[in-house]
């Protein structure tokens, strides 16, 4: 298969200038832009030779084209996934039809998809949390699924008790409580949907047990190393430094950092508006060092983009970070740079609370900063205040006073 010149002929030639401008707008530099334009030219010639319609670009009809590229030893853009920027551009122009999400193939899949929408839209849960809830709910659905269908209307308390026991087997106290919470949530949803008539969530008994482990904070010295490891002479270092400060100083959750938008920063009032769990919006004070880090990134690090997200990808296509997974990647690289074990956003949140407690802040104020609705949730940090615990602990019988 011969490759045509870069000036494309064929059915895609009309869209080459606009696609080049779109690539530049998305932040592609000269080299990858040239590669994508070569791909467009080669593909356009192949479509013309083979008589394949543009409307089939997103289908398996173009697989032979990419197989020929691989056989010819082309080093990049070798699979159908390489067409993603072009397909998005052509769909926006209306040249290609917008892909409609597939309808669930079974009643079980339909029910879980509806539960996912309910958790995101009605409950306002974060994407990662929704994924956990759906995975646990799927265990219940799978147990009741027959061949291509599912029957949940006949659920009994006995079955739910046995399922809860199986799901909780081998888990710690915290994980058991999560399983119970998810099962109750899913059962309430089933009643709202009319799938079940009885209020079966009460058949899922509370998880017993006390979790003796301490909140898994990291040392202040390690936080300092993480921050110092960011090379703030470059755009990526400024971005990562601002992200780490938000996690370590304000105790934000990973998803809350990802969701921050430019309009959420009130520079005059010195406040930050945070999208929390359950669709809540909370206002937090913006410490001077965090504000300086954000301003440094926005002025001298954040690339130009139509996106309103504060934190953007460092490479094309430019846009907001792709969920909490991208943020965990930022943290993993930061930990690797300074030679410490991976610290998740939740561990940095624990660190914020632990250091505030050790500095003398009352639990009530810590709960307000972390935006925790239940005092019981915040009370777990009392376990790290060893000096106060000594005042109320009774001596062990027979030990020296």
The CATH code of the domain that includes 178 is 1.10.150
Q: What pLDDT sits at residue 191?
A: 87
Q: What pLDDT sits at residue 392?
A: 44
Whole-structure pTM value: 0.73
Same domain, 181 and 234: no
6 within some domain: no
User: What's the pLDDT tens digit per position in 119-170?
Assistant: 988 887 777 788 889 999 988 888 776 544 567 777 778 888 888 888 888 8
Number of domains in the chain: 3
336 within some domain: yes
CA atoms of 378 and 293, how far apart (whole Å): 28
Same domain, 183 and 121: yes
User: What's the pLDDT tens digit per position in 360-386?
Assistant: 777 777 777 777 766 666 666 555 555
Where among 67, 93, 119 does a domain terminate? 93
Same domain, 78 and 130: no
Give residue 4's pLDDT band: very low, low, confident or very high (50, 70, 90).
very low
Of the two residues 281 and 360, the one the predictor is more confident about is: 281
84 within some domain: yes
64 within some domain: yes
**What is the average pLDDT score of the chain?**
84
- The mean-pLDDT minimum among 35-39, 214-218, 278-282, 300-304 falls in 214-218
Q: Give the domain CATH number at 357.
A: 1.10.443.10
CA atoms of 381 and 185, how far apart (whole Å): 27
141 within some domain: yes
**Half-sphere exposure at residue 344, Cβ-oriented, CA atoms within 13 angstroms:** 9
Same domain, 247 and 178: no
116 within some domain: yes
Same domain, 196 and 250: no
Q: What pLDDT sits at residue 3?
A: 43
337 within some domain: yes
Q: Are 357 and 374 in contact (CB under 8 A)?
A: no
Q: Is the pLDDT of residue 318 over 80?
A: yes
**Region for 303 from its dihedrals, namely left if φ exceeds 0, alpha if ψ lies in -120 to 50, beta otherwise:** beta
Where among 93, 125, 148 does a domain terminate? 93
330 within some domain: yes
Domain hosting residue 171, numbered range = 107-203
Same domain, 147 and 224: no
């Amino acid at each position: 298969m011969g490759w045509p010149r870069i000036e494309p002929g064929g059915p895609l030639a009309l869209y080459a200038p606009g696609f080049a401008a779109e690539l530049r707008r998305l932040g592609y530099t000269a080299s990858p832009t040239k590669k994508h334009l070569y791909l467009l030219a080669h593909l356009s010639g192949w479509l013309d030779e083979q008589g394949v319609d543009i409307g089939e670009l997103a289908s398996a009809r173009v697989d032979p084209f990419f197989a020929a590229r691989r056989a010819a030893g082309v080093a990049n853009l070798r699979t159908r996934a390489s067409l993603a920027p072009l397909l998005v551009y052509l769909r926006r122009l209306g040249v290609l039809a917008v892909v409609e999400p597939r309808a669930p193939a079974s009643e079980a899949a339909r029910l879980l998809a509806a539960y996912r929408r309910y958790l995101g839209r009605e409950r306002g849960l974060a994407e990662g949390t929704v994924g956990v809830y759906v995975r646990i709910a799927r265990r219940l659905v799978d147990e009741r699924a027959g061949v291509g269908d599912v029957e949940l209307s006949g659920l009994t308390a006995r079955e739910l008790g046995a399922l809860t026991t199986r799901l909780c087997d081998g888990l710690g106290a915290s994980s058991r409580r999560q399983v119970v919470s998810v099962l109750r949530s899913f059962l309430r949803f089933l009643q709202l949907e009319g799938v079940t008539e009885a209020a079966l969530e009460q058949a899922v008994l509370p998880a017993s047990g006390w979790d003796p482990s301490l909140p898994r904070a990291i040392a202040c010295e390690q936080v300092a190393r993480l921050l110092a490891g960011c090379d703030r002479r470059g755009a990526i270092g400024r971005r990562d430094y601002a992200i780490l400060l938000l996690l370590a100083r304000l105790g934000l959750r990973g998803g809350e950092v990802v969701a921050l938008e430019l309009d959420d920063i009130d520079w005059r009032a010195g406040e930050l508006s945070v999208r929390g769990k359950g669709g809540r919006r909370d206002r937090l004070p913006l410490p001077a060092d965090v504000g300086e880090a954000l301003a440094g990134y926005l002025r001298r690090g954040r690339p130009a983009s139509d996106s309103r997200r504060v934190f953007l990808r460092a490479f094309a296509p430019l846009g907001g970070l792709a969920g909490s997974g991208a943020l965990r990647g930022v943290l993993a690289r930061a930990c690797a740079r300074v030679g410490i074990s991976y610290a998740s956003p939740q561990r940095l949140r624990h660190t914020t609370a632990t250091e505030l407690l050790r500095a003398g802040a009352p639990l009530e104020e810590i709960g307000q900063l972390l935006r925790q609705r239940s005092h019981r949730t915040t009370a777990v940090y009392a376990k790290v205040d060893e000096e106060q615990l000594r005042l109320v602990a009774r001596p062990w019988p027979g030990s020296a006073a």
